[in-house]
Structure 1
Amino acid sequence: MATTRRRQIGCHIGFDRWNTVTQPLSHIMFRGSLGDMDSCSHVYRWDRKPYQLVFVLGFEARHQANTQVESYFNLESYVNSGGRPLDPIRDTTYGFISTTHTASWYVPIVSRGVVEHPYRYEIYASEGIDVHETLGERYFYPAQAEIVFPVGIVAEKSRLILCEVTATVMGKWNTVTQPLSHIMFRGSLGDMDSCSHVYRWDRKPYQLVFVLGFEARHQANTQVESYFNLESYVNSGGRPLDPIRDTTYGFISTTHTASWYVPIVSRGVVEHPYRYEIYASEGIDVHETLGERYFYPAQAEIVFPVGIAPQYI
C-alpha cells in the first residue's frame, strides 16, 4: 500500500505566485474536500514499469535539474498538453503522478508494431488533487476522472516500504555478502528514539528540500539487489553520511548526533552545507542491524529507504 507526499507543496500548485503564463487557479480540490467517500476509495494507474520496482520504489515524478519550479508544478499545462494525461509512455518532466477513478481506462502501447499491455496498479493513497474539480472548464479531458499526486506516490514510513523490500535488504537477493538476520527500527526495543528528531547535512538548498524532500538517487541500470544492499551502502564509498557522496543506493542517511559535521572543500573553497532537522519516526538503526559488520558505529546512523517526505523536514 502506498501513500503520498503531498501537503507541503499542495498550497502552491498552479497559483499565480509561480505562474504568470496561465490564469491562476482559484482553489485546489482534494478528494474528500466535499465530505464524500472518494478519499477512501482506491485509484488506478497503468504503467509499463515492472511491479518488482514499483513495489520497492513507488511512482516518482521525473525531475530534471534545469526544469524551473513554475513549470514543474504547472498543473494545467501538465494535464492538457503532451498527449493523453494518463498515457503510461508519456515523456514528462512535470511534478505530478496521474491516476484515475476509472478501472476500465486502458491504453495499449504499440511499439514497433508490437502491442504491449502495461500493468494496472491499484493505489490506496488518500486524497490527491481532483483535476476536474480544480480546473473546471480549463480541463480538456474530464472523462478521464483524473486524480494527480504531487511529487509521487510512495510509502511514507520506512516500515511500510520495508514490507516490500525486506527480502532484498536482508539478503534474499544478495549472494555477495552474508544475509542480515534482522532489521532493527528505532523504537524496536521500546525506547524513545523513535520520537526524537535526527539530522542530515546536505548542500541541497532548502527551497527544494521543503518541496521535494530527500529522494534516493536511482539509475535505470542499477540492479535491485545492489540498490538496497544496506551493508555495502554504509561501509563503502567514503564516509557514510558524506553529503557530497555520489551514490546510487536506495537509502537516505541521517544521524542522532547534532555535532556531526562535514565541511566541503571544493577547489580550495570551504562550503558549509545546511543542517536539516528531520522529524520522521522509525528509520533503520544501522548499528543495531549490522552489529560488528558496521564499520562506523560512532556515526549513530539512521537510514530511511527510498527517501524522506518534505512534511517531516
Structure 2
Amino acid sequence: MEYTHLGRTGLRVSRLCLGTMNFGPHTEEPDAHRIMDLAHDAGINFFDTANTYGRSVGKGRTEQIIGSWFAQGGGRREKTVLATKLYGEMGEGDWPNQGKLSALNIRRAVDASLKRLGTDYIDLYQMHHVDRAAPWEEIWQAMEVLVAQGKIVYVGSSNFAGWHIARAQEAARARNFLGLTSEQSLYNLLERSVELEVLPAAEAYGLGVIPWSPLHGGLLGGVLRKEREGVRRLTGRAAETLAARREQLEAYEDFAAELGADPGDIALAWLLTRPAVTAPIIGPRTAEQLHAAVRSLELTLDQKSLARLDELFPGHQPAPEDYAW
C-alpha cells in the first residue's frame, strides 16, 4: 500500500479510503467487520463515514457498526485514521438545531458520533455541506473548542465550492487556526467540474482532495459488460445517465480492453494522477469488491493513456482560462 500526507498536514493516509456508507443498509454487520479487517490487511488505514449513514435502517447505524468493530480491540482503532461528518438532520420531525453547523449542533453532533463510534476522538471531522446561515466565526470557534478538548484532530469539508474553501481558510487564518485540511468532492472521469475552481483552491490552500463516487455509481466500472452478462441493470438517474452517455462509455470500455485492464481500475488509477488528490473513496459491499479496488494501485497509466482518457472524457482548465481568454 502507498501512503501520502493528507494535504499540508503531517498525517499519512493510504491512497485509497474505505467508504462505509453501505454498512448497515446493504452490508450486514459481520460482513462489514470482515471488510474492515481485510482493508487493514491490505494496508488501508483511512476510513470514511458520516453520522447520517445507515438512513434506511436508522441514522447512525453505520457509525455503530464501526464502533462495534473497534470494540474488538487488536489495535483496530489505533491503526485507523477515522473520518466522519456532520450536517444532516439527525432528529425526528422538524425540531430545530438537530443538524447543520451551528455551534450548538457541532457540540451535540460530535458527542453523539463519539458515543456511536466507541472512541474518544475523531481524526478528521468533516462538514458534509455548506451551511450558508452559520458564520465562519461561529464554526471555527466551535471547532477550536473540540480540538482543545481532544475530541477531534483535523477539520475537513465536503461538497464545498472553491470560494467556500477560500472564505473558510481566510477566516481560520485570522484566528491563527489550521482550518480545513481536506475537501471531499464528487470527482471522476464523468464528472470533472471540480477542476474549474475546487481543485485550484485546494492546491492553493494545501487541502487534500478526497473524491467520492470515483466510479460514478458504477458507470465507470464496466457497466455495459455487466449489462450484457446480465449481472447488473441500472434504474433511475443512473439508467438515464447511461442512456445519455452510452456511446462514450462504450468507447471507454473498448479502451480498457485494449489496455487489458478493468474499467474500474482505470477510473481509480486516473484519479490517483490528479493534482491535490489524496485518496478516492471506495465503497465495497463485499470483500470481492474491496480486493478489486485495491488492484487499481498496481495499474500505472502512461501519458498516452492519460491523453486518450482526456479525449474520451474532456475535462476543464482552471477558471477563468476554461471559459475566458
What TM-score results when the alignment is normalised by the length of structure 2?
Answer: 0.24
**Structure number having the greater strand percentage:** 1
Normalized per residue, the structure richer in helix is 2
Structure with the larger RCO, 1 or 2 (CA within 8 Å, 6+ apart): 1
TM-score, reference length from structure 1: 0.24
